[in-house]
Amino acid sequence: MISNKKLGLIGRNISYSFSKKFFENKFQKLMLKGFSYEIFDLNEIHEVENLISTPDLLGFNVTIPYKEKIIDYLDELSDEAEKIGAVNCVLIHNEKKTGYNTDAFGFEKTLLLHKKPHQNAALILGNGGAAKAVQYVLDKLGISAVTVSRSTEINFDNLDQKTVEDHPIIIQCTPVGTFPNVNDCLKFPFEGLSKDHLVIDLIYNPNYTQFIINASEKGAKTVNGYYMLEQQAEKAWEIWNFQKK
């Protein structure tokens, strides 16, 4: 067994993250003595340079707002990460830093678990790293998608009820409503939602964002980001441990 291996998570204002507890529980369950998992809260992405040179660092997860910015600091990208243009998992092996995207894996599993046959058009709310992984999965599954962000043709100010009615899958990919700002909610025409809709909010803390609460009040099937998070974490663990197999 490899001893003294360090893992962690980089992001900004991420003390709320579930990752540390998740991986520490995993180390305990697998009776791994030499592993640790730390939260690396970085004010700026360039601070990652110091982290990368840490002895015994096996890899790290990446979250908001660095999923795209981290790419400049890596030697190689997996096919998926390259196509998506965002990285949420980094492996350091023989001093080579490789970026992966396990968000896509986690989101695909979540979507396929809940999607109904009539749900074949989606609205992606947001255009950051997580939204890019979502777009990749929807393309792969042949589901047409429209991105709604502050800078797109359809934006949060002109998104209307009819557009929502015409897109039975809604994926909320922005950080709006994340702990501790649990009362915040995206501007969204909730009256366009019905029991025919599947609404996935990628946020997992809190369990029920204001967005999910508003959507469920309209009868939509709602799912938070916890299962996706678990699945992407398991995939990251697989990546970090490939060289032991």
Nearest to 224 by CA among 210, 236, 235, 240: 210
Nearest to 28 by CA among 38, 36, 16, 40: 36
| C-beta neighbour count of 241 within 10 angstroms | 17
Exactly one of 5, 67, 97, 132 is catalytic; name it: 67
| C-beta neighbour count of 79 within 10 angstroms | 9
Let me know if 67 is a catalytic residue: yes
Cα separation, 168 vs 14, whole angstroms: 32
- Catalytic residue positions, numbered: 67
